[in-house]
């Protein structure tokens, strides 16, 4: 059973998400929060698989709440998905850097949201190609003059190939087909690349790929 916490300051939004999630086989809501402080407290108490985190909440916002959750050793298995209007929320890249496993826009179709919860729980990045392109263009502009990323030279040739394809939005299965590797082997390369580049998960690896210049914004699918 995939356990979910909902963090949003609007009760109506939380009620709608709860009804949607609880009606889906294999998913259940185990907690709700109306503020960032509540989100941190409920998450660290319940240790869910996935947190659907609004950015704009009173007091502690979703970005800082995300940072506090993923930096807590108890929450190693928790995956935070930022739910955003995107056009208004300018700090999605910061959320990814702070450990969010990805993000959704608030007008996401219900079926896509449920799929997203399952994807996040499985440890995959949640990066919609269209929105990801916009996000990564921001990242590229912000890091144009940044120093080289530590660990970049430690990547093997195969790991670099895999990072490029992760940055383009491909899944492990798709990367395996492209490089004639098994999905398990691809996963191993992804984990090793994450370790070398200091990325907590696949979402941070995508940002690292763009920050390092391995992938350019125009390459994103």
**79-136 per-position pLDDT tens digit:** 999 887 765 556 666 777 778 887 787 788 898 889 889 988 987 766 655 555 566 5
Residue-wise pLDDT tens digits, 148-186: 667 788 999 999 999 988 877 788 888 999 999 998 999
Task: Say if 139 falls within a structural domain.
Answer: no
Does the reported pTM lie above 0.85?
no
> Are both 120 and 157 inside the same structural domain?
no
Query: Residue 152: inside a domain, yes or no?
Result: yes
Q: Please state the length of the chain.
A: 221
Number of domains in the chain: 2
Residue 181 counted as domain residue: yes
| Residue 208 domain boundaries | 148-219
CATH code, 41:
3.40.50.2300
Q: Which of 91, 126, 161 is the last residue of a domain?
A: 126
Q: Say whether both 185 and 122 belong to one domain.
A: no
Residue 138 in domain: no
C-alpha R_g of the chain: 17
What lies within 8 Å, CB to CB, of 141 at 6+ separation is: none
């Amino acid at each position: 059973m995939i356990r979910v916490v909902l963090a949003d300051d609007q009760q109506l939004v939380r009620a709608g998400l709860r009804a949607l999630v609880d009606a889906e086989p294999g998913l259940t809501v185990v907690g709700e929060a109306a503020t960032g402080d509540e989100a941190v407290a409920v998450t660290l108490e319940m240790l869910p698989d996935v947190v659907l985190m609004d950015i704009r909440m009173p007091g502690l916002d979703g970005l800082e709440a995300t940072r506090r959750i993923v930096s807590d050793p108890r929450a190693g298995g928790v995956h935070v998905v930022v739910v955003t209007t995107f056009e208004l929320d300018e700090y999605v890249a910061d959320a990814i850097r702070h450990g969010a496993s990805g993000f959704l826009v608030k007008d996401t179709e219900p079926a896509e949201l449920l799929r997203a919860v399952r994807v996040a729980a499985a440890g995959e990045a949640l990066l919609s190609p269209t929105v990801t392109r916009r996000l990564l263009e921001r990242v590229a502009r912000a890091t144009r003059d940044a120093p080289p990323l530590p660990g970049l030279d430690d990547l093997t040739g195969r790991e670099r190939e895999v990072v490029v394809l992760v940055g383009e939005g491909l899944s492990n299965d798709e990367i395996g087909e492209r490089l004639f590797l098994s999905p398990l082997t691809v996963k191993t390369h992804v984990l090793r690349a994450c370790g070398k580049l200091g990325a907590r998960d696949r979402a941070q690896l995508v940002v690292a790929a763009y920050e390092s210049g391995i992938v350019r914004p125009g390459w994103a699918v």
